[in-house]
Structure formats: C-alpha cells, structure tokens
Amino acid sequence: MEAVEHDCDVIVFEDLTDIRDRLPQAKWHHIWAFRRLYEYVSFKAPEQGVSVEQVEPNHTSQRCSRTNCGFTHEANRHGEHFECQKCGYEVNADYNAAKNIGLRYARKRTHRLRSSPKSGSGDAPVNVRVNGGTLNGKSHQPIAGD
C-alpha cells in the first residue's frame, strides 16, 4: 500500500455523502466510482495501521491553499489550472484541492499530519497524496510507471 510506503498514518477523502442531492448535475458513475474507492480504502487501510478520514468538500478546488492567503473564489479554478485571483499562486487545480483537503483535516484534528517543513512560498505544511504520485508542498514525485 502506497500510504505505508510513504510513512502515512492517515488517508483523507472529501465527504461526498449525499453529493447527488448537492450536485444534481454530477455524473452518477463518477459518484459511484468514488464511493467504491472510499469503501475499498476504508476496508483495507486499517489492516496496515492507516486510518481513513473524511472532511467537508466545500470549495476545496476554489480556495487558495497557500497558508498565508486562503482566498476563495470560483474564478480561481480554470479546469485543471488554479490561479489565485488575490495572490497570484498558480498550480495544478487537483494539487491545490488536495492540499486544501489535507489542511482541512489538520485543522479538524488537534494533532497534525506527518509533515515536511513549509516551503518558503507558503505552501501547505502537509504531505498529501494524489493519483499519480506524492505531493509534499514543494514538488510532485510520480510513482514508478506513472
């Protein structure tokens, strides 16, 4: 399991319970696939000593993940590209959202995720995982074969 290989003790998902009611335009097969992934990880991760948590999904893709900014606006996200309209921070939109999910979890709990130091640019002080590699706030390191 990749979480164990990268010394992670928790995997955090957005809580998409009742997403059909909140986003009626969402495609049912995407929702189904996400639910299946969450259920599978929730079943397998504890066997490896990794907990699985959920956080509220509100605006994770529209909020600037730089800890000294946090500006939230729908104009920040343009498809796969994120550009903060306030501070100018530019990054992959999924990367930005993943950092926000990690930050939301860190705020939700009294303890912090295992982390690397904050980058000088003010990036999130948490390690987060996105399909395709590990993100640590400074760089993206693809998994072999990705």
What residue ranges do the domains of the chain occupy? 1-56, 58-117
The conformation of residue 23, written as its DSSP 8-state character, comes to -
Q: Residue for token digits 């390690």?
A: 127
Separation between Cα atoms, residue 101 and residue 122, nearest integer Å:
16
Contact 45, 52 (CB under 8 A): yes
pLDDT tens per residue, range 89-131: 999 999 999 999 999 998 887 444 344 444 444 454 445 555 4
- Indicate whether this model's pTM tops 0.85: no
The conformation of residue 27, written as its DSSP 8-state character, comes to -
Q: Say whether pLDDT at 139 is over 50.
A: no
Instruction: Name the amino acid, one letter, at 76.
Output: N
Separation between Cα atoms, residue 60 and residue 69, nearest integer Å:
14
